[in-house]
Chain A
Amino acid sequence: MHWDLILWLISLISNIVLLVLLIYQLICLSDLEADYMNPYETAANINSLILPEFGLQAAFCALFLVTGHFFMFLVTLPVAIYHARLFARGEHLVDVTEIFRALSVEKKHRLIKLGLYLLFFFLVIFRFPAGSISSLSIFSSKHGDLDIRSSFLEF
């Protein structure tokens, strides 16, 4: 059970970091739109965060695979594939020369991703420990809730 707890903490923390990275990028984009930041700063700020974000997300996803949490793995996989595709095409970085033209699309993509990250966040909090006990019990949230408490109690 201790391992599960550590795993749970790790995924929780990395999920929070992912959220922070993404929200910061969104803030940069809105600052750009409001003319509080120039395109050079915006692009530099965002681009410096993209690879860490991609890496962390990939690790996050792999972590579930390695530890056998297949449900969480499958949930996080699409984002990882999306990232991999962007990276493979060389489209992952923000293009400073066309940043204003791409602004609305970049924002939209990030907002969708933000929604997914939030979903992960809630899954990690409420569902993930359940999966750690029995991969079948993932469909029961009650057990999951209980489980969190129980692991806290045990700790």
Chain B
Amino acid sequence: MRPFLSSGPVAGRPDGDGVRPPPPSAPGSAMPFASPRPMAGPPVPGFRPSPVVGFTDQIRPGPPPSHAPPTSNNFQQFSAPQYSGPPTNPPIRTPPVGPPNMNMASPMPPNMPPPIQRPGVPAPTPPLTFRPNSQVPPQPYAQAPPQPFAQGPPQPYAQGPPQPYAQGPPQPFAQGPPQPFNQGPPQPFAQGPPQPYAQGPPQPYAQGPPQPYGQPAYAQSPSQPGMQGFVEDFSSLSLGAVPGSMDPGLDSKALPRPLEGDVEPTVFNDMTMNCSPKYMRLTTSAIPNSQSLASRWHLPLGAVVSPLAEASEGEEVPILNFGSAGIIRCRRCRTYINPYITFTDGGRKWRCNMCALLNDVPGDYVAPLDATGRRIDADQRPELIRGSIEFVAPTEYMVRAPMPPLYFFLIDVSVSAVRSGMLEVVAQTIKSCLDEIPGYPRTQIGFITFDSTIHFYNMKSTLTQPQMMVVSDVDDIFVPLPDDLLVNLSESRNVVESFLDSLPSMFQDTVNVESAFGPALKAAYMVMSQLGGKLLIFQNTLPSIGLGRLRLRGEDPRVYGTDKEASLRVPEDPFYKQMAAECTKYQIGINVYAFSDKYTDIASLGTLSKYTGGQVYYYPSFRSTIHADKLRHELARDLTRETAWEAVMRIRCGKGVKFNSYHGNFMLRSTDLIALPAVDCDKAFAMQLGLEETLLTTQTVYFQVALLYTASCGERRIRVHTAAAPVVSDLGEMYRRADTGAIVSVLSRLAIEKTLSSKLEDARSYLQMKIVKSLKEYRNLYAVQHRLAGRMIYPESLKYLPSYGLALSKSMPLRGGHADALLDERCAVGSTMMTLPVKSLLKFLYPSLIRVDEFLLKASSPDADLKNVEKRLPLTAESLDARGVFILDDGLRFVIWIGRMFPPELAASLNIDFASDLSQVNGSNNEMSRRLMGLLKKLRESDPAYYQFCHLVRQGEQPKEGFYVLSNLIEDQTAGTNGYVDWIAQIHRQVQQNA
């Protein structure tokens, strides 16, 4: 039985993508519109005058912003009085200098009157009833003249494009007054109070008594004469103006440093019905409206998705069961029902937000609409108000009965596996987790061990002891008793336990050094292929016998710097890719635990995880006396975390844009369908999108991630995350709404992928080029109007991009050359970075460095003041103090650094054993040691995906200090790499070249 044939259960197949009719240009009259909600919001503290460029924004479909017509064009559409405006109002608009996007949205200048607000006056039904997506003739202006808003400068510029949001009900951007997103000028999109000028039609002004002096507020442009200087919309760093001099003249203290770690983007939640950024983050929540604009955005344009991220307390994703009624989806594009759809026709029809098709509402789902066009039962229906939702899938989403959770273990029992203690720790840990493995009572389990032969274990519940069968013909593998090798855990519990108890002793006297890994893998695959499941491989030696045999490579430093270098980082034998592909086909996800103290070719072994949605755990030189805790914790988490089985994921997006590349650990099953045999909360996937049309006519682009999976309990479910992002015509807006975390996440995946086909150096320069190009483009936005000489400018949203870029190019997979990192370690870390969610990745790149000696020494004070301790320091040697104790925490490990002048007697009371490199800061009973342990525990709890192994380093202790600490102080200049200051100076130089 083949689960998922080519036409397998797909989270919605793209049916007839090619034959989509154009969206009907439905007349607005079909829709009830206009919430009577007062359009005038509360006064707006965060109000920013819309800069002059706003005028130039054209009615769609208009020309791309890059050739905005002279502003005057638009003015003329308004009645003349605006020009005859009061004399006190100086020339309101100077035509913009330079390209339109050079606007400086600036905080409201002090001399501007506050925007007019008339909270008391409810707005009348807006005159505009345009639907989103419909191509509307430039009527807004036609309607404008009758309205007395003419006295002021023409607010309507803010409405340039048809205001789809004017129609109350659909309000895709949930907050209060709708905000037109696509208007060139930098709409702050503040989550704060609504911006008055953004409120669709000009009613507020239309009604009030004429206030000739009031309205100009909207028209103020930063370039208005009389304003005292520019209020800059960008951040900048001053650099010494001596070009070519070695001293960049940078104050290193002034450099931006990501000391708060990952900050979730707030702009993403402008759309209040968006899913949490935990699940999906866009590299910029502003989609360019044209290909020409997109091509000026040199950073990745895409998303990072973590569909099963752990929800915080109280924010769990609700699970809905529509039962036999079925899940409501768009007929044409298969989009799932979500908060952004709109109901019309008295609630009997709904319009798809992705493709604008009008669908019927199933009979028993119909509910009347209120006056705003909102369903009266919306608040009781999570699918209409929540961005993340989970549906119970009916049988049409299954090609077979939902599979039981299945864990299969493939364990190396060669001499090094036994001697290192790995075997014992693994057996103990599995045994201790048996109660917590999800899916009771359906869970299945099985084991194969191997050295130069393959050992199968019959664990039938009727036996008291497992029966071992040895197959020594590894060239022609056959599986004895295929039915009894995989057993139900709850039925065979005793046999499984007795097997795990005896496993370490069974092989304790082995002298076998060979590893028939390939044949054993094949055998495991044959056993599992009926059901699929999760395969955990514990590998201690280089595969040496049979299929998939590998050889030592990567020892030759001469290969580095040549074109052959990259071939060391890809699998040597096509066997591994083929096995991975076959495993994914049969719903087998593979996690590799590698332990060797010698080269084990993680590049090849890791491939098994890469294409099956798994991950690699690497424990170089594993010794159970030292690393047992780490292995125990991570294996336990792997076994007990909630896992989604036989999953497929697809991300849909609105018309005109398309995801065209995907990055992470998975295999693509069709152009846009990601196959994930087993996926969990610790995995994230990145994807990039492109514009399919030269010009987008919609105002908003919607994204919907759908993950169809089998839960451990046996229920088939669909998890759906929906988000919306405005379409903009202004590059500055894209920068303003950029998300450094998501950008770094995508960039790091791209750079790591590049190392698989090019030299490390090329991957680093690729990264640097991306950063330089984006900053150069940004600089060009402002170069004309501002004196920028000697300054490096960057958008506030990207202030940490250079530091993360530097950290990335110094990270294990990209750093240096042959001598700077072991090949296996590079590949293992690279593989991990391909799966890390944004937050963990950022912490890994820019680890937190905290000083703890005061905390440890302070006599009283309980753990409450932990907050104070967690003040992160810049990653430079200057932060270290010889009298102190510091902890460096990158999320995967801790390094405790003890200064030379830290009193030795105190160090002794910490009960630290410096001789060995261990985490045995084992709590003696003194207060200090207890505090330290408490602190480490706290830090670990905040980051449970991995167990942070603790390395101890005393100042000046080489080479440990260099390896564990100094190489992580990424702001410092180390052999052949830039320090942070030089890096900034270098980027600045490159930005200015040909600028």
Contacts and interface: CB of A to CB of B under 8 A. Distances in A.
Interface stretch (B269-277, B575-583, B771-779, B899-907): B575-583
A37 B6 contact: yes
Nearest to B573: A90
Nearest to A99: B668
Interface in B663-701: 667-671
Interface string A32-73: 110101111101000000000000000000000000000000
A97 B667 CA distance: 6
A96 B585 CA distance: 11
B6 A41 contact: yes
B697 to A, nearest CB: 26
Interface string B7-45: 100000110000000000000000000000000000000
A43 B669 CA distance: 12
B689 to A, nearest CB: 15
A100 B14 CA distance: 16
B14 A40 contact: no
Contact of B581 (A33, A40, A90): A40
A39 B668 contact: yes
Contacts of B670: 32, 35, 38-39
A100 B668 CA distance: 7
B882 interface: no
A39 B669 contact: yes
Interface string B566-597: 00000000100110110001000000000000
Interface in A83-106: 90, 93, 95-97, 99-101
B611 interface: yes
Given A40-B6, A97-B611, A35 B577 contact: no
Nearest to B578: A96
Nearest to A103: B671
Nearest to B580: A97
Contacts of A38: 5-7, 669-670
A22 to B, nearest CB: 23
B6 A95 contact: no
B321 interface: no
Contacts of A35: 13-14, 670-671
A80 B577 CA distance: 27
B585 A40 contact: yes
A97 B581 contact: yes
B88 to A, nearest CB: 62
B661 interface: yes
Q: How large is the interface on B (under 10, 10 to 19, 20 to 34, 35 or more residues)?
A: 20 to 34
A35 B671 CA distance: 7
Q: How large is the interface on A (under 10, 10 to 19, 20 to 34, 35 or more residues)?
A: 10 to 19
A20 to B, nearest CB: 24
A103 to B, nearest CB: 8
Interface in B810-864: none
Contacts of B6: 37-38, 40-41
Contacts of B577: 95-97
B579 to A, nearest CB: 10
Contacts of A100: 668, 671
A38 B2 CA distance: 13
A99 B578 CA distance: 12
Contacts of B5: 38
Interface majority SS on B: helix, strand, loop or mixed? mixed
A51 to B, nearest CB: 15
Contacts of B667: 39, 97
B532 to A, nearest CB: 15
A101 B664 CA distance: 13
A124 B746 CA distance: 51
Contacts of A101: 661
A88 B581 CA distance: 23
A90 B13 CA distance: 34
Contacts of B14: 35
A95 B6 CA distance: 17
A149 B164 CA distance: 72
B957 to A, nearest CB: 44
Contacts of B581: 39-40, 43, 96-97
Nearest to A43: B581
Interface in B592-629: 607, 610-611
Contacts of B585: 40
A93 B580 CA distance: 16
Nearest to A33: B671
A153 B401 CA distance: 70
Contacts of B661: 101
Contacts of A39: 581, 667-670
Contacts of A43: 581
A59 B366 CA distance: 70
Contacts of A99: 668
Nearest to B582: A40
Contacts of B669: 38-39
Nearest to B15: A35
Contacts of A32: 670
B588 to A, nearest CB: 14
A76 to B, nearest CB: 29
Nearest to A96: B581
Nearest to B8: A38
Contacts of A37: 6
A46 to B, nearest CB: 14
A126 B580 CA distance: 49
A17 B614 CA distance: 43
A139 B337 CA distance: 69
Interface in B544-584: 574, 577-578, 580-581
A107 to B, nearest CB: 13
B678 to A, nearest CB: 17
Interface string B883-898: 0000000000000000
A32 B671 CA distance: 8
Q: Max chain A CB contacts within 10 Å: which of B7, B585, B671?
A: B671
Nearest to A101: B661
A93 B667 CA distance: 18
Nearest to A35: B670
A115 to B, nearest CB: 26
A97 B7 CA distance: 18
Contacts of B668: 39, 99-100
Contacts of B671: 33, 35, 100
A128 B661 CA distance: 46
A99 B580 CA distance: 14
B548 to A, nearest CB: 15
A30 to B, nearest CB: 12
Contacts of A40: 6, 581, 585
Interface string B475-513: 000000000000000000000000000000000000000
B18 to A, nearest CB: 8
Contacts of A97: 577, 580-581, 607, 610-611, 667
Contacts of A41: 6
Nearest to B5: A38
Contacts of B607: 97
A111 B813 CA distance: 36
Contacts of B578: 96
A33 B673 CA distance: 12
A97 B13 CA distance: 20
B648 to A, nearest CB: 12
A35 B6 CA distance: 9
Nearest to A42: B6
Given A40-B585, A96-B577, A97-B577, 15 more contacts: A32-B670, A35-B13, A37-B6, A38-B5, A38-B6, A38-B669, A39-B668, A41-B6, A90-B574, A96-B578, A97-B580, A97-B607, A97-B611, A100-B668, A101-B661
23 contacts: A32-B670, A33-B671, A35-B13, A35-B14, A38-B5, A38-B6, A39-B668, A39-B670, A40-B581, A41-B6, A43-B581, A90-B574, A93-B574, A95-B577, A96-B581, A97-B577, A97-B580, A97-B581, A97-B607, A97-B611, A100-B668, A100-B671, A101-B661
Q: Which 7 A-B pairs have the closest CB atoms?
A: A38-B6, A35-B670, A96-B581, A97-B611, A100-B668, A97-B577, A97-B581
